[in-house]
């Protein structure tokens, strides 16, 4: 290797996006047992990156943000049998915001020639999250009516497409008429503009007063109460994100009407081994290769401009996926 250092994004204290630094002299890691050293091409930007940076989620400092990337395998550690030097891969659950990063072989996939590095980085974490939500958090059944908040976002668009694929009637919420067009293009049956419409009243009107079988809520604090209020009897609220902040502590008596279920699904807690990873990743790739999933890449930034990427995703004005180019 020409150098033992690498470029990376890093933060040494938690706070707003101003704590992010771009450095070029971080030590390049050496793959251990079961690990791959990857020369990254593209890195996905996700809300979890902002939670870790802001302090909502505690992480060891200093910290390299990022939970997914795509690139080429440069070296392999002991015991690696599924990958070889030169393989094109996408991977998840590592400190990926760097020129070189380590991947765990059990949480990586080979990219077929039909999937670009950009598409690989854009698909994996949000696709796994969406698949996890519709197959495990609440398994969507034909005839279900589902409500998806932030339906124009990267995860939201994939949730809309997967819920429709599994037979649901989909109601999406978003902020603008332009975003609503995107949500409809992904297959939603109804789109509500939450700034202009009474979401509870509209959902109950669409469902003839019955409510929805599940709400997939990545917004958090701002939508939590309305999400509970539109659930059908024995409905499920899957609260999986905090884009508007952490929801307030829950009074369990709020679950009594309609005997609803509340869960906080965590993809990272589920994916503990290769079998669980493949359970979600393999059908996701099959659907994408079959042309049944569309990924919208909103914008690509250079890694050194990670601050702008964090500012943009937190602004709520983006739709689709944000990527960093290495």
Question: Which is it for strands 35-45 and 68-76: parallel, antiparallel or unpaired?
Answer: antiparallel
Q: What angle do CA 159, 122, 238 make, to 5 degrees?
A: 30
Q: How far is the CA of 137 from the CAs of 149, 159, 263, in angstroms?
A: 16, 12, 8
Residue 3: per-residue pLDDT: 53
If we measure between CA atoms, which residue out of 133, 149, 170, 139 comes closest to residue 264?
Answer: 133
Phi first, then psi, for residue 55 (nearest 5°) are: 105, -5
CA separation, residue 211 to residues 41, 115, 168, 265, 275 (Å): 44, 39, 14, 21, 35
| Cα–Cα distance for residue pair 166/172, rounded to 1 Å | 16
Beta bridge partners of 27: 5
Q: What is the pLDDT along the chain (326 residues), one digit of tens a residue?
A: 455 789 999 999 999 999 999 999 999 999 999 999 999 999 999 999 999 999 999 999 999 999 999 999 999 999 999 999 999 999 997 799 999 999 999 999 999 998 999 999 999 999 999 999 999 999 999 999 999 999 999 999 999 999 999 999 999 999 999 999 999 999 999 999 999 999 999 999 999 999 999 999 999 999 999 999 999 999 999 999 998 999 999 999 999 989 999 999 989 888 888 999 999 999 999 999 999 999 999 999 999 999 999 999 999 889 889 999 99
**In degrees rounded to 5, what are phi and psi of residue 293?**
-130, 135
Sheet holding 231-239, edge to edge: 190-193, 169-174, 145-148, 212-217, 231-239, 261-263
- Of all residues in the chain, what percent carry a pLDDT higher than 70? 99
Residue 177 belongs to what H/E stretch? helix 177-185
State pTM to two decimals. 0.91
CA distance 29 to 242: 32
The H-or-E segment that residue 85 falls in is none
Report the C-alpha gap between 189 and 207 in whole angstroms. Answer: 12
Please give the helix or strand (H or E) that residue 161 lies within, else none: helix 154-165
d(CA 287, CA 162): 9
Give backbone dihedrals phi and psi of 128, rounded to 5 degrees, phi first. Answer: -60, -40
As a whole number of angstroms, the distance between CA 245 and CA 239 comes to: 12
Two tokens at 105?
Answer: 């072989």
Radius of gyration for the chain, computed over Cα atoms and rounded to the nearest angstrom: 20
| Sign of the alpha-carbon torsion through 167, 111, 182, 152 | positive
Percent of the residues in the chain that have a pLDDT greater than 90, as a whole number: 91
Residues 137-169: pLDDT tens digits?
A: 999 999 999 999 999 999 999 999 999 999 999
Rounded Cα gap, residues 240 and 231, in angstroms? 16
CA trace torsion 20, 320, 133, 290 (10° rounding): -130
At 55 the pLDDT is 96
């Amino acid at each position: 290797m020409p150098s033992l250092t690498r470029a990376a994004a890093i933060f040494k204290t938690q706070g707003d996006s101003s704590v992010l630094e771009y450095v070029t002299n971080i030590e390049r890691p050496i793959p251990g047992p079961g690990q791959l050293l990857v020369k990254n091409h593209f890195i996905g930007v996700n809300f979890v990156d902002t939670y870790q940076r802001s302090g909502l989620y505690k992480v060891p400092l200093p910290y390299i943000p990022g939970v997914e990337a795509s690139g080429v395998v440069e070296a392999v550690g002991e015991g690696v049998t599924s990958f070889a030097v030169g393989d094109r891969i996408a991977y998840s659950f590592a400190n990926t915001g760097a020129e070189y990063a380590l991947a765990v072989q059990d949480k990586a996939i080979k990219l077929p020639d039909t999937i670009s590095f950009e598409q690989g980085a854009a698909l994996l974490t949000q696709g796994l999250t969406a698949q996890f939500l519709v197959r495990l958090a609440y398994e969507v059944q034909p005839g279900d009516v589902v409500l998806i908040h932030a339906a124009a976002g990267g995860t939201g668009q994939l949730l809309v497409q997967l819920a429709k694929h599994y037979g649901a009637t989909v109601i999406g919420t978003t902020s603008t008429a332009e975003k609503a067009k995107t949500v409809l293009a992904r297959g939603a049956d109804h789109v509500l503009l939450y700034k202009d419409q009474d979401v509870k009243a509209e959902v109950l009107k669409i469902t003839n007063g019955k409510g929805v079988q599940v709400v997939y809520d990545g917004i958090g604090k701002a939508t939590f109460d309305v999400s509970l209020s539109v659930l059908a009897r024995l409905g499920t609220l899957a609260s999986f994100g905090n884009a508007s902040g952490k929801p307030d502590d829950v009074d369990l008596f709020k679950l009594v009407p309609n005997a609803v279920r509340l869960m906080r699904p965590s993809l990272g807690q589920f994916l503990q081994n290769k079998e669980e990873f493949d359970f979600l990743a393999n059908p996701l790739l099959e659907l994408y290769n079959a042309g049944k999933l569309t990924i919208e890449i909103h914008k690509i930034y250079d890694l050194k401009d990670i601050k702008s990427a964090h500012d943009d995703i937190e602004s709520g004005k983006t739709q689709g996926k944000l990527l960093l180019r290495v």
